Structure 1
Amino acid sequence: MIAHEDIEWRVSPGLTPYSEALAEMEERASAIRRGEAKEMIWLLEHPPLFTAGTSADPAELFNPMGFPVHEAGRGGRYTYHGPGQRVGYVMLDLDRRGRDVRCYVHALEGWIIDTLADLGVEAHRAAGRIGIWADLNGTEAKVGAIGVRVRRWVTLHGFSVNLSPELSHFSGIVPCGIAEFPVSSLGEMGVSCRPERFDLALRQRLSRFLASLEGGTEKG
């Protein structure tokens, strides 16, 4: 197993412009592929914006507030990023971790679900709907999104988790192309969670995430 001490863990304060993050992420992924940089997990927040995945349908973008729209290069459709939402960009070398993209996405989902459980939120996967889901007054609601890209077996993009964003901003799109279910947040579910607390819980589950990615069964 590759020790998680060999992975750079970066947390950026404030709001990081999306175009800057995208450029740095792509540069880092290339350096990882060349063997010139460590793998990295990067946690941050963005100013309000929408991103378009490779399957984005223009009919699902309304944008009455005029937020910037960025081509992301990842899979999926439209997503929202903004203050109060924790974004995690995960740059790992799958060439050393089994070359299994399906396993990677499953492990990424499990990492978020385990982390949310530690924070008091019972989240789950939903058949046929990628992302992280939880119960909201008897209705399934989306609390986290997954969107990845793999280039030369190095992963880019990753996940977002709604801690306490302005939920009305999601009305500017059909989030991830799913109109039948609402988007929620930990705050709406009555769970107060600052980014620092989420980051700590996420890091405490890192070893288990890597073990599941590499086919292990580490407990914890």
Structure 2
Amino acid sequence: MDETIEWRVSDALLPYPETLAAMEARAAAIRDDGTAELIWLVEHPPLYTAGTSAVPQELMPDARFPVYAAGRGGRYTYHGPGQRVGYLMLDLHKRGRDVRAYVHALERWVINALARLGVAGRAIDGRVGIWVDLPDGREAKIGAIGVRVRRWVTLHGFSINVAPDLSHFGGIVPCGLPDPVTSLADLGQEVSMAAMDRALADEFPAFLSRLGAAQHGP
């Protein structure tokens, strides 16, 4: 673990507006004052977020949870209990000013963490997120990626469906895609949030190495 990066895990369900404000303040402090970078692992109460490409028709008329403008890329996503959300505030001035490489490294970090838990995830060209195969052969989404970069400091990050209520996704078309959504629990994997966090922590050094490799080139 890079000791210059703060690693924070919040156990309570954090309200989204306050979390977003804290994330944006920390990102500004990293850029302006040299404050330490931060990886922040959280859960939220049930809610939907709208990215900058959100399409109103993809929010169902009977959606029963609050909707918040997120300021990240992408469309509608769901956050709620049983889902691990990771917010990354990293300085890409130090880690390579390449947003595409950053997103790919973020996808690979989640994929490798899932592999430690016995789940084979993958990225798919033309889609942003993490996908798995269901027993019936269909593809399903298990993780979402949504990022923003402001003055080369990253905001937002990823979400992984550990054991959320999958019916809550029914209020939106997740990320504008009609494919089913799944979770570790839905796949028969009884994984605690603490185990998910350990897998992410174990794969974090490799994630940073990928960013360094992207910065220095082949």
Same fold (TM over 0.5): yes
Answer yes or no: is the 8 Å Cα contact 1:63–1:173 preserved in 2. no
Residue 84 of structure 1 corresponds to 82
1:202 and 2:197 aligned: no
Secondary structure of the residue aligned to 2:33 is: coil
Residue 67 of structure 1 corresponds to 65
Residue 108 of structure 2 corresponds to 110
Secondary structure of the residue aligned to 2:145 is: strand
Distance of 1:91 and 1:186 partners within structure 2: 26
Once the two structures are superposed, the pairs formed by residues 73-152 of structure 1 within 5 Å of their partners are 73-137=71-135, 138-152=137-151
Distance of 2:25 and 2:47 partners within structure 1: 22
Q: Pick from 25, 31, 34: which aligns with 1:33?
A: 31
Distance of 2:146 and 2:63 partners within structure 1: 24
Which letter does structure 1 place at the counterpart of 2:59?
L
Secondary structure of the residue aligned to 1:205 is: helix
Q: Pick from 180, 183, 186: which aligns with 2:184?
A: 186
Deviation at 1:129, TM superposition (A): 1.1
Which letter does structure 2 place at the counterpart of 1:118?
R
Once the two structures are superposed, the pairs formed by residues 163-178 of structure 1 within 5 Å of their partners are 163-178=162-177
Distance of 2:212 and 2:75 partners within structure 1: 28
Which letter does structure 2 place at the counterpart of 1:174?
V
5+ residue gaps, structure 2: none
Deviation larger for 158-167 or 29-38 = 29-38
Deviation at 1:82, TM superposition (A): 0.3
Answer yes or no: is the 8 Å Cα contact 1:131–1:145 preserved in 2. yes
Distance of 1:160 and 1:95 partners within structure 2: 24
Distance of 1:36 and 1:99 partners within structure 2: 17
- Give CA deviations for 1:26-70 in whole Å, capped at 9, x if unaligned: 000000001341000000100000000000000000152421100
Aligned-residue Cα RMSD (Å) equals 1.0
Distance of 2:120 and 2:34 partners within structure 1: 39
Which letter does structure 2 place at the counterpart of 1:141?
A
Residue 46 of structure 2 corresponds to 48
How many residue pairs get matched? 213
Deviation larger for 89-98 or 56-65 = 56-65
Answer yes or no: is the 8 Å Cα contact 1:123–1:132 preserved in 2. yes
Distance of 1:76 and 1:110 partners within structure 2: 19
Answer yes or no: is the 8 Å Cα contact 2:63–2:172 preserved in 1. no
Once the two structures are superposed, the pairs formed by residues 206-217 of structure 1 within 5 Å of their partners are 206-215=204-213
Answer yes or no: is the 8 Å Cα contact 1:164–1:185 preserved in 2. yes
Distance of 2:190 and 2:86 partners within structure 1: 19
Distance of 1:170 and 1:65 partners within structure 2: 9
Answer yes or no: is the 8 Å Cα contact 1:150–1:156 preserved in 2. yes
Which letter does structure 2 place at the counterpart of 1:95?
H
Secondary structure of the residue aligned to 2:140 is: strand
TM-score normalized by the length of structure 1: 0.95
TM-score normalized by the length of structure 2: 0.96
Which letter does structure 2 place at the counterpart of 1:99?
R
- Give CA deviations for 1:171-203 in whole Å, capped at 9, x if unaligned: 100000001x10000000000111111101100
